[in-house]
Structure 1
Amino acid sequence: HLNYILVNLAVANLLVSCVGSFTACCSFANRYFIFGPHMCKIEGFMATLGGMVSLWSLAVVAFERWLVICKPLGNFVFKPDHAIACCVFTWVFALIASVPPLFGWSRYIPEGLQCSCGPDWYTTNNKYNNESYVMFLFGFCFAVPFATIVFCYTQLLITLKMAAKAQAESASTQKAEREVTRMVVVMVLGFLVCWMPYASFALWMINHRGNS
């Protein structure tokens, strides 16, 4: 049933690649966003939506592994319906995060090299309440998923270590422990490498706008 969530993750990444990469490449050739303000809103929304689905899917994968392996709910069985519900959950949360700039809570504008669009980290116009939106994104779409990933994989590692001790550290359990440890490190570091620079830059921009 994990495959449902992985397909969901792939669809989200494909959305970002098809929309964001195409407009960015075309605009980069002209050194500015060439598609106009309305397309900027659409591109910013679609890229943010796909990014948030991808991010929350990583958290859901960790949560699913925790439920299946650590069994905090006893004999609960993670079924396809639950996996589909988790996928729907990622899209609902992503919509909650990406829709507000379309209706005045922050806005989508060209960012970086002005070749793609994203939430407004830059301006100090209080009309759009950019600061509160950035803090909302940082907490709701970075800190919470990251905490979920760390908690679930830490519990997974602890459970495996306890099982290894109970089985007198057999070769198979030692191998499984090494594989899970490697997976935990890769997932956490991968999450940080992908999202920490963007999240940190957004917070830095919010706190240093107007400084020379």
Structure 2
Amino acid sequence: MSTSPFNETTTLSVPTLTSEYNDVTTVSKAIETIVLVVIITITTVGNVCLWVIVLRSRALRTLTSMFILGLSTADILVGVVNMPITVYTIIMSRWEFSQSACVVFGFLNMITLVTSVLSLCSISINRYVMVCNPHMFKHIYTVRNAVAMIIGVVIFSILLSLPPLIGWSEYVYTPSHSFCFADWQNHMSYAFFMIGCCFGIPFIVMSVCNVLILRNVRASRLRVKTSCGEKPEYPEKTHLS
């Protein structure tokens, strides 16, 4: 017999999933809903404006902007797909959709989370190469390579999000957060794996890159001061057509 808390032939709107909300007041739900709606609005409008500005300005259509737009796309998906479902669930105080829908939205939640973190990591590496190894920048960051890197981030995010679909953890509804996500509490091995891959390693990479960039900038400033105002050379931005 399956140990899953959900019955595959019914929706998830059963009493056991709403018990954690018995003490939540209407005012608390209203405040939480308003805050999330504001976040959704800012997230969606802000990121759509970013796309419009970048696409309309040739000066901003650089390789670095491609990575930023990749991150922006993940944020837009969160704002228009994931968070509205959370708001609706908060209002209803229970999951109103099917088990399959919970799995789909849990999978999307995980993919967008991982994609956002890995995109930030890619941007840090891009900045590191440009500042600390400018002679290598144009060789590494061609349009073709940049597209391949962005696609690689998406594919890697999908692969990291697949285990709950094949038995290592599972996507379940979490009443305390009003959304579906991987059941880390009952599958600690997957939780530690994801924490390491999605937070630990990217955090270390971003920290190292930023520290090295800071050291390089300080060294460059020192050289400028001792060389009669001569400015250090950085690679010119590669504009996209």
Q: Note the residue ranges of structure 2 that are not aligned, 5 or more in a row.
A: 1-62, 232-241
Is 1:37 the counterpart of 2:99? The answer is: yes
- Contact kept, 8 Å, 1:27 with 1:115, in 2: the verdict is yes
| Residue 157 (1) aligns with residue 214 (2) | yes
Q: Which amino acid aligns with 2:78?
A: V
User: Which whole-Å CA distance do the structure 1 matches of 2:119 and 2:230 have between them?
Assistant: 30
Please give the residue correspondences for 1:57-206 in structure 2 after superposition, counting only pairs within 5 Å: 57-71=119-133, 74-77=135-138, 78-113=141-176, 115-123=178-186, 130-168=187-225
How far the C-alpha of 1:69 sits from its partner, in A, is: 1.1
Is residue 44–residue 119 contact of structure 1 (8 Å, CA) maintained in 2?
yes
Q: How many residues align?
A: 166
* 8 Å contact from structure 2 (residues 117, 202) kept in 1: yes
Give the alignment's TM-score, normalised by structure 2: 0.65
Query: Would the aligned equivalents of 2:94 and 2:175 in 1 still touch at CA under 8 Å?
Result: no
Three-state SS of the structure 1 residue aligned to 2:225 is coil
Report the Cα offset of residue 140 of structure 1.
Answer: 0.7
SS of structure 2 residue aligned to 1:167: helix
Matched AA of 2:215: I
How far, CA to CA, are the matches of 2:136 and 2:164 in structure 1? 43
User: For 2:173, what is the secondary structure of its paired residue?
Assistant: strand
Q: 2:129·2:136 contact (CA, 8 Å) conserved in 1?
A: no
The answer to whether the 8 Å contact 1:109/1:117 transfers is: yes
Per the alignment, residue 87 of structure 2 pairs with 25
- In 2, the alpha carbon distance for the partners of 1:17 and 1:172 equals 46
Give the counterpart letter for 2:195 in structure 1. F
Q: Aligned partners of 1:76 and 1:20: how far apart in 2?
A: 36
Q: Which TM-score applies when normalising by structure 1?
A: 0.73
| Structure 1 portions without partners, runs of 5+ | 124-129, 174-212
Q: Which amino acid aligns with 1:140?
A: C
Secondary structure at the aligned position of 2:89 is classed as helix
Structure that is richer in helix per residue: 1
Amino acid at match of 2:151: V
Q: Deviations over 1:125-152 (max 9, x none)?
A: xxxxx11111110111110110110011
Deviations 1:86-109 (A, max 9, x none): 211211221121111111110011
Bigger relative CO (Cα 8 Å, ≥ 6 apart): 2
- The CA distance in 1 between the partners of 2:212 and 2:112, in whole Å, is 28
- The 3-state SS of whatever aligns with 1:122 is coil
- Give the Cα–Cα distance (whole angstroms) in 2 for the partners of residues 172 and 105 of structure 1: 57
Distance 1:172 1:146, change over 3 A: farther
Q: What amino acid maps onto 1:158 in structure 2?
A: R
CA RMSD of aligned residues (A): 2.0
